[in-house]
Chain A
Amino acid sequence: MARRAARLAGYVLCGVLAAGAIALALSHRASIAAIPRPDPASFAKDLVERGAALARIGNCAVCHTQAGGALYAGGRALATPFGTIYGTNITPDEASGIGSWPKDAFARALREGVARDGTHLYPAFPYEHFNALADADIDALYAFLMTRPAVAQQAPANRLIPPLGFRPLLAGWKLLFLHRDAAPADRGAYLVQVLAHCGACHTPRNGLGAERRDRPFAGGWSEGWYAPPLDGSNPSHRAWSEDRIAGYLRTGFDSNHAAAAGPMGPVARSLSGAPDADIRAIAAYVAKWIRQAPDAPALDRREAAAQIQPAGATLFAGACAACHENGAPMMLQGRPPLSFGTPLHETTPRDAILIVLQGLAPPLGDSGPAMPAFGDTFDDRQLADLTAYLRARFSTQPAWSSLEREVAAARKEGNAP
């Protein structure tokens, strides 16, 4: 379904942007002359350090590093509704990275989505946000990246739905959707809207893949995962206070919610190394947006759920209860009950299903709480029953429909972070 819709959108895009293709001649971007890689010693140390902190908040490594690969050397596959895009090499290797890019080329890429050689970059690179980056921050990011070890590694070619491989179309896309925004004065607003580009996942996108500016933070999609709303419609059972948000961003976990899952896991890992003052500023700003609710006690409709979904109750007892049942050893260590996590209250079952299918990695890397993957334990019907039971037991939201199909789709579309 999503694929067909995406294909349709592809052709719509083709039509709408035929005009863009004509505008191509007008919007052709010049190549900026290559330079030899700048001497790392030419950058002031404090500038590099500031850049390192900014890169943490900008989550650069998340998309520009592949699993087990060299930092910033690219190659990570990013699944989008329009096909697969690979994060590029942003180390200072002259041939395969950005070593030959002068600073104005780097700034143009961030703000306008144009590579040094003049080719247009896909909006998976969030220039929708970065266009409001402050000059001083671009300087610092440039200094930081140019002083990383150069790694020779060419990113694989993107695999996009035709005709989207034809990059000049992006000129038309930008005419329609790339706005020149002023940088917000408030530090938290600046970090959230611009550098950390939270809306890239948490804001819904239109059929052409542009963020909907009329619905900021209303919940979006990222690599097959649902990124819950950060606005008044956030469905969490417990309140998200400024302190809780800060702790969650810092550690990937909050005892009144849950562990960061899906693409948020790597984001939390990246933010864990960001300056405390910036994390506080981000938290203060998000707290202004997100729904405030009084703390409700854990929700547990055990008997009712077992009646509604007895098959799911059986599966829960055999597969989940050893950790998640009231009084289980894990629960006695202060882990949040399932009603505290956001997934079981979301409008879509996607996140809940993916967490069961793939399990959860420890929030901050090698050690810490982890959940095993159950993708090979349950078939689609069984996981549908289990998901229905979880929803009935731990949420007051209406039952999800078509769960068996949802499970099959989640198996296909959910990227492992």
Chain B
Amino acid sequence: MTVTLNVNGRDHAIDGDPATPLLYVLRDDLALNGAKYGCGLGQCGACTVLVDDKPVFACVTPLATLAGRRVRTVEGLGNGKLQQAFATEQAAQCGYCIAGMIMRAQALLERNPSPSEAQIRAHMQPNLCRCGTHMRILRAVRRAAEAP
């Protein structure tokens, strides 16, 4: 089956099993390696991307769900204030979770440019950092929210 997949504003004709998780398509077919494979079970958020501006786990998002929808990955984000804030706060240790963290935070800031601390924490809750830099990650999101 061929699915037309729109990623970061560009259409790609993907020929494959419609049950294939989006994460594999991004990494194996499109060489977009920002989203990471952590658990493959929707439990860690390393694979988080945006589908129609909402954060989803790409590892449990079948290709079949994506016809006509817009996928955005960290590669499509450019170098904005969110990435800058992550760098300034030195939020990354090994960095494995960071693309997912940034995409989840991006969804929040697009919807709500000045979230409260409680909103940030509730929103970021599904994503896990194995290195334990959650406090820095939260600081980075807060910094980005406060940046002009």
Which A positions have Cβ atoms within 8 angstroms of B? 68, 311, 314-315, 317-320, 322-323, 330, 370-372, 374, 376-379, 382
B-side binding surface: helix, strand, loop or mixed?
A: mixed
Which residue on chain A has the smallest CB distance to residue B121? Answer: A68
- Partner pick for B60 among A314, A322, A379, A382, CB 8 A cutoff: A322
Q: How far is the CA of A378 from the CA of B42 in the complex (A)?
A: 14
Question: Are A317 and B19 touching (Cβ within 8 A)?
Answer: yes
Which residue on chain A has the smallest CB distance to residue B58? Answer: A377
Number of B residues with CB within 8 Å of any CB on chain A:
23
Q: How far is the CA of A372 from the CA of B60 in the complex (A)?
A: 10
Which residue on chain B has the smallest CB distance to residue A329? Answer: B41
Q: Mark B25-67, 1 if CB is under 8 A from A, else 0.
A: 0000000000000001111000000011011110111111100
Question: Are A319 and B61 touching (Cβ within 8 A)?
Answer: yes
- B18 close to chain A: CB less than 8 A: yes
Which residue on chain B has the smallest CB distance to residue A375? Answer: B54
CB distance from B116 to the nearest CB of A (A): 11
How many residue-residue contacts, CB under 8 A, span A and B? 59
A-B contacts, 19 of them at CB < 8 A, read: A68-B118, A311-B64, A314-B18, A314-B19, A314-B64, A315-B62, A317-B62, A318-B19, A318-B60, A318-B62, A319-B65, A320-B60, A322-B60, A330-B41, A372-B43, A374-B60, A376-B51, A377-B61, A378-B65
Q: How far is the CA of A80 from the CA of B13 in the complex (A)?
A: 47
Q: Given A370-B43, A372-B60, are A318 and B54 also a contact pair (CB < 8 Å)? A: no
A-side binding surface: helix, strand, loop or mixed?
A: helix
Question: Are B56 and A319 touching (Cβ within 8 A)?
Answer: no
Which residue on chain A has the smallest CB distance to residue B50? Answer: A376
Question: Are A372 and B64 touching (Cβ within 8 A)?
Answer: no
Question: Besides the contacts A68-B118, A370-B43, A372-B60, what 7 more A-B pairs have beta carbons closer than 8 Å?
Answer: A317-B62, A318-B19, A318-B63, A319-B65, A322-B42, A323-B42, A378-B65
Question: Are A377 and B56 touching (Cβ within 8 A)?
Answer: yes
Residue numbers in B under 8 Å from A370 (CB-CB): 43
Residue numbers in A under 8 Å from B52 (CB-CB): 376
Residue numbers in A under 8 Å from B43 (CB-CB): 370, 372
Question: Are B51 and A315 touching (Cβ within 8 A)?
Answer: no
Which residue on chain B has the smallest CB distance to residue A323? Answer: B41
Residue with the greatest number of chain A CB neighbours at <10 A, chosen from B54, B59, B60: B60
- B21 close to chain A: CB less than 8 A: yes
Question: Are B55 and A376 touching (Cβ within 8 A)?
Answer: yes
Question: Are A377 and B65 touching (Cβ within 8 A)?
Answer: yes
Question: Are B42 and A372 touching (Cβ within 8 A)?
Answer: yes
Residue numbers in A under 8 Å from B54 (CB-CB): 376
Question: Are A318 and B41 touching (Cβ within 8 A)?
Answer: no
Which residue on chain A has the smallest CB distance to residue B54? Answer: A376
Give the 5 A-B residue pairs with the shortest CB-CB distance, closest first.
Answer: A318-B62, A372-B42, A317-B19, A376-B54, A318-B19
- B20 close to chain A: CB less than 8 A: yes
Residue numbers in B under 8 Å from A319 (CB-CB): 21, 60-62, 65
Q: Given A376-B56, A377-B51, are A318 and B61 also a contact pair (CB < 8 Å)? A: yes
Q: How far is the CA of A311 from the CA of B1 in the complex (A)?
A: 13
Residue numbers in B under 8 Å from A371 (CB-CB): 42
Which residue on chain A has the smallest CB distance to residue B1? Answer: A314
CB distance from A238 to the nearest CB of B (A): 25
Residue numbers in B under 8 Å from A378 (CB-CB): 65
- B115 close to chain A: CB less than 8 A: no
Residue numbers in B under 8 Å from A311 (CB-CB): 64
Residue numbers in A under 8 Å from B18 (CB-CB): 314, 318
Residue numbers in A under 8 Å from B126 (CB-CB): 372
Q: How far is the CA of A119 from the CA of B80 in the complex (A)?
A: 56
Q: How far is the CA of A377 from the CA of B41 in the complex (A)?
A: 14
Which residue on chain A has the smallest CB distance to residue B61? Answer: A377
Q: How far is the CA of A376 from the CA of B42 in the complex (A)?
A: 13
CB distance from B130 to the nearest CB of A (A): 16
Which residue on chain B has the smallest CB distance to residue A317? Answer: B19
- Partner pick for B65 among A320, A330, A372, A379, CB 8 A cutoff: A379
